[in-house]
Structure 1
Amino acid sequence: MSSRGAVRRVVSLVPSLTEAVAATEPGLLVGVTDWCSHPPGLGADRIGGTKNPDTARIAALAPDLVLANEEENREPDLAALRAAGLPVLVTEVRTLDQAFGELHRLLVHGCGLRRPGWLDDAEAAWRDVRPAGPARQAVIPIWRRPWMVLGRDTFAGDLLARLGVRSIHRRNPERYPRVPLDELNASGADLVVLPDEPYRFTADDGPEAFPGLPAALVSGRHLTWYGPSLVTAPQVLRAALAEPR
C-alpha cells in the first residue's frame, strides 16, 4: 500500500491494469492513458500515451499510487514521477502465472483492495486448459513496417503455448525480434496468428503477406492484456485458433 496511507487516487499507465482496477474499484482511477479503452466511458483524466505520459499532469492529479509496467512504460518517465514524490508500482508480466501474481500484488497489496472474484474466475478458467492436439508452429506478428514477431519470454507466447500454438521464434534471443517477411515465410511455420493490436491486423494481411499459410485472426485484448479479459480468453482464443482462414 502507498506510504501515504490509504489509496484513494490511482493513475494507471497500462491499459490492462486500468481495466483490472476498474473491474474491482473504479472510483480509484483519477488518470489513465489515451490507450485505456476498457471499460468504455472511463471518466478519469487522460494523461497521454504509455510511452509519452504527461508527468507534470500526473503529478498535478496528486495520486496516492501510479501503476506501471516494465515493458510498456519508459524508465525515465517513471523516474520523473518518483522524483515528484509519487509512489510507483511497477509490474513485470511475462507468463500467465506471473500475471496472476502481479494482479494480486497490485490490487490487494498495492491498492489495498479485497481480492476480486474475477481474478479467481480467471485462474479457474485457465486451470485445466490443455492443447487440443499436436502443437502448431506459428509466426506471430505484432507489427509490420517493419515486421516484428513474438520471440522468447512473452506473456502472449505463454498463453498461446498453453493452447497448443508455439511461436516459431520462441528461441530468438530477443523478445520481439524484427524479421524480414521473406524469412518469416521461409521459417517452416504451419500457421500465422494475427492479433488486432498493437498493430491492427486484418483478414487481408494473411493472404497478402503469407500466401498459402492459414491465418488465425485473434483478439489482441484477449491475447496480450492481463486483467478481466483473462476470464474469457481461453474460450475466445481457442475459437479463433480453431478456424484459421
Structure 2
Amino acid sequence: MRVVSLVPSLTEAVAVTLPGVLAGATDWCSHPADLDVARIGGTKNPRPDRIIALAPDLVLANEEENRAPDLDALRTAGLEVLVTQVRSVPQAFTELDRVLTACGAPGRPRWLDAAEAAWTALPEPEERRTAVVPVWRRPWMVLGRDTFAGDVLARLGVDHLYTGHPERYPRVPLEELRAAGPDLVVLPDEPYRFTAGDGPEAFPGLPCALVSGRHLTWYGPSLAQAPRVLASALRAAHR
C-alpha cells in the first residue's frame, strides 16, 4: 500500500500507525518530526503531477483543507481519493477508523483508543466561558458554525460567540470582536501564528489564551494529549 496524504493530521495518524506506508505528504505535514517522504506542495496548492508520479494506491484528503478542483484532477488521473469530514470530536474518531482501515491497518491502534478514552473520561466543566477564537488576522477571521475546533472548546467549557454564524470562518472586524463581550480570547498558533506580541495586544483588558493549534485543530495522535494541554492553557487565561 502506497499512500499520499494532503492533510497534516492524517499524515501523522498514518505515519505513527503504519510506518512505511506514506509515499508523500504536504509541505505543512510537520509530524512526526522525522517524517521522510516526498513533498508534494501545500494543502491548498498541491502539485498533482508530483502526486501522480508517486503512483499512490490512495490519496487522503479533507473537505475543508483541500480544494475540490485539485481532488478532481487526481481522480481524473485515475487515483483513488478518500475525502474526510471532521466537524466534531466523535466524528474525528469515526473518520480516523475509516482512514486507517483504508490504509491497511490490521486493527485499531492503541493511540486511537487512548485518545477516545481521554475525551470520553472528560469531566463536565465546572464553569462555562464565552470566547472569540481568531484563526487569522489581516483580515480578522474567527471560528464560526460547525467546526471541529469549536466542538473541542465546547467540551472544555468554552463556547465561542460565533457558533451560530452562517459562515464557518467568518471575517469579523476587530471592533466587533471586542464589542461582542467575550470572557476570553483564544489564540491558536496556527493557521495564523498568534504570539504574545501579535494577538493579545489587539484585545486590551481581555484575558487571552495562547494555545497549541495542533492540539486544537488536528485530529490524530495529538488528540490523546489535547484535553490536558488545552485545559491548562485555558485555565491560565483567567482574569
TM-score, structure 1 normalization: 0.95
Is 1:36 matched with 2:29? yes
Instruction: Tell me which stretches of 4 or more aligned residues in structure 1 moved more than 6 Å.
Output: none
Instruction: Please say which of residues 198-207 and 71-80 is displaced more in the overlay.
Output: 198-207
TM-score (norm 2): 0.97
Q: Give the aligned partner of residue 125 of structure 2.
A: 132
Unmatched 5+ stretches in structure 1:
1-7
The Cα shift of 1:206 comes to: 4.2
The alignment status of 1:111 with 2:103, answered yes or no, reads yes
Taking the TM superposition and a 5 Å limit, the aligned residue runs for 1:49-198 are 49-108=42-101, 110-113=102-105, 114-198=107-191
Does 2:46 align with 1:14? no
Residues 198-236 of structure 1 show CA distances to partners (whole Å, capped at 9, x for unaligned) of 000011234410000000110000000000000000000
Residue 48 of structure 1: aligned partner: 41
* 2:213 match: 220
Q: Return the letter of the residue paired with 1:112.
A: G
1:200 to 174, 190, 193: 193
Q: Which moved more, 1:78-87 or 1:205-214?
A: 205-214
- Cα deviation, 1:72-113, whole Å, max 9, x if unaligned, reads 0000000000011000000000000000000001101x1121
Cα pair 1:18 1:36 within 8 Å, conserved? yes
Mapped partners of 1:41, 1:102: distance in 2: 25
Contact 1:130/1:162 (CA < 8 Å) preserved in 2? Answer: no
Separation in structure 2 between the aligned mates of residue 77 and residue 207 of structure 1, nearest angstrom:
36
Name the structure 2 match of 1:3.
none
Corresponding pairs, count: 237
Q: Does the residue aligned with 1:194 lie in a helix, a strand or coil?
A: strand
Provide the C-alpha distance between the structure 2 equivalents of 1:185 and 1:98, rounded to a whole number of angstroms. Answer: 32
Preserved CA contact (<8 Å) 1:55 1:81: yes
Percent pairwise identity: 72
Gapped runs of 5+ residues in structure 2? none
Alpha-carbon distance between aligned partners in 2 of 1:208 and 1:191, rounded to the nearest angstrom: 13
Deviations 1:14-44 (A, max 9, x none): 0000000011012000100000000012111
Greater Cα shift, 110-119 or 49-58: 110-119
Taking the aligned partners of 1:187 and 1:87, their CA distance within structure 2 comes to 45
